[in-house]
C-alpha cells in the first residue's frame, strides 16, 4: 500500500511527529519503525526519523501489510449464505471459536483459520495487519449468522451502520417453562457481575448499560419448554441469556446462567450439547437496497422444535 502527498505546514516539523499526527491509526513508534525500514521518502530520498520536513515537501510512504502471526489458513467447511467481492455471510456452527485464543491449541480450528483459507489473502487491513473483519463476537456455543468484511470499504460501511443501529438482529431460542405472554419486552441495566467477571448480570453490575430485548412466543414443546423469537435493540454481552434468566425463563442447557440439574435433564432427553440459541436473521441496507439474510436452524435445535423452520 502506497501513500504519496505534499506537505502544507507553517513551520518545519519532525517527520515522525508529522506522520503520527496525520495518520491516527499509526503510533509514533510504528512511524519510526517504518522510517528505519526505509519505507518513507521525502522528495524521493530515504530519510531519518529526526529529519524536519517543510511546506511543499513531497512524502511517499510504502506500507507493507503484515499477516496474522502464527495463525494458519485451514480448509474448514463453511456454511455460506451470501458472498461477493466485499462481503461474506455464513451460518456458523456451534462449538467453533470465532477468534484464536492464547491457550493450548487455541490458534487452530477457528472461524478465522477457515476464512483465511477461503478468502485467499483478499482481506482488509486492521492496524496494518491483513485479517478478516468479523462483525460479531458471540458465544462459542451459539450457532449464528455472521458478517465478515472482505474489503476496507465494507469494513467501514458495516462499522457505520452498526454505530447508527441501522441493522436488526433476530434470534431463535428454546427456554425452560411455558411463557404465557405471546409478546413482551425486557428493559434493564446490564453489565459485569461484581462477584464474577466472567458473568453479566442485571443486579449490582459494574458500570451498567441499558439493554432492551423483545420476545415473541412461536410454539410450546412437550408442555414444558417455549420456542421464542428474539430481537435485540442493544448489543450487550450475553444480553439474551441474562435477560431470560433474570425473569426465570432461561435458555435450556445454558451452563453459565442456569441450574445444572435442569440442564442434565435436557441433555438426556434431546442429546443437546450446548445452549439452544441461534442467531438466525439480519436486516440492513446493502448496496442501497434493504436486504434480509437468514441462517437455517442447526440440526440439534431443529430436532427439539420438531423440525419447524424459521419464521
Residues carrying an active site annotation: 139
Residue with cell 491483513: 130
3 state SS of 273: coil
Nearest to 228 by CA among 182, 274, 259: 182
Cα dihedral angle (99, 104, 109, 114), rounded to 10 degrees? 50
Nearest to 309 by CA among 250, 253, 241, 227: 227
Cβ–Cβ contacts within 10 Å for residue 165, how many?
Answer: 10
Nearest to 81 by CA among 147, 5, 15, 16: 147
- Straight-line distance from the first to the last Cα atom of the chain, in angstroms, rounded to the nearest whole number: 45
Amino acid at each position: 500500500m502506497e501513500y504519496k502527498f505534499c506537505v502544507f505546514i507553517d513551520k518545519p516539523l519532525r517527520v515522525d511527529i508529522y506522520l503520527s499526527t496525520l495518520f491516527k491509526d499509526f503510533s509514533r513508534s510504528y512511524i519510526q519503525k517504518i522510517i528505519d525500514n526505509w519505507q518513507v521518502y521525502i522528495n524521493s530520498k530515504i530519510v531519518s526519523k529526526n529529519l524536519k520536513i517543510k511546506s511543499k515537501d513531497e512524502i511517499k510512504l510504502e506500507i507493507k501489510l503484515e499477516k496474522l502471526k502464527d495463525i494458519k489458513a485451514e480448509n474448514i467447511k463453511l456454511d455460506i449464505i451470501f458472498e461477493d467481492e466485499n462481503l461474506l455471510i455464513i451460518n456458523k456452527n456451534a462449538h467453533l471459536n470465532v477468534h484464536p485464543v492464547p491457550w493450548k491449541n487455541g490458534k487452530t480450528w477457528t472461524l478465522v483459520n477457515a476464512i483465511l483459507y477461503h478468502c485467499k489473502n483478499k482481506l482488509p487491513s486492521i492496524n496494518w495487519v491483513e485479517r478478516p473483519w468479523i462483525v460479531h463476537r458471540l458465544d462459542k456455543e451459539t450457532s449464528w449468522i455472521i458478517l465478515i468484511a472482505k474489503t476496507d470499504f465494507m469494513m467501514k460501511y458495516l462499522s457505520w451502520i452498526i454505530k447508527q443501529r441501522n441493522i436488526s438482529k433476530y434470534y431463535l431460542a428454546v427456554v425452560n417453562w411455558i411463557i404465557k405472554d405471546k409478546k413482551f419486552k425486557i428493559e434493564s441495566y446490564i453489565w459485569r457481575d461484581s462477584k464474577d467477571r466472567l458473568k453479566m448480570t442485571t443486579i449490582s453490575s459494574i458500570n451498567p448499560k441499558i439493554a432492551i430485548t423483545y420476545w415473541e412466543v412461536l410454539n410450546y414443546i412437550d408442555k414444558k419448554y417455549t420456542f421464542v423469537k428474539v430481537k435485540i435493540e442493544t448489543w450487550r454481552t450475553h444480553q439474551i441469556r441474562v435477560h431470560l434468566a433474570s425473569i426465570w425463563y432461561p435458555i435450556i442447557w445454558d451452563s453459565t446462567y442456569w441450574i445444572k440439574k435442569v440442564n442434565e435433564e435436557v441433555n438426556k432427553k434431546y442429546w443437546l450439547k450446548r445452549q439452544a440459541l441461534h442467531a438466525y436473521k439480519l436486516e440492513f441496507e446493502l448496496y442501497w437496497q434493504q436486504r434480509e439474510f437468514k441462517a437455517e436452524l442447526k440440526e440439534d435445535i431443529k430436532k427439539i422444535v420438531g423440525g419447524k423452520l424459521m419464521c
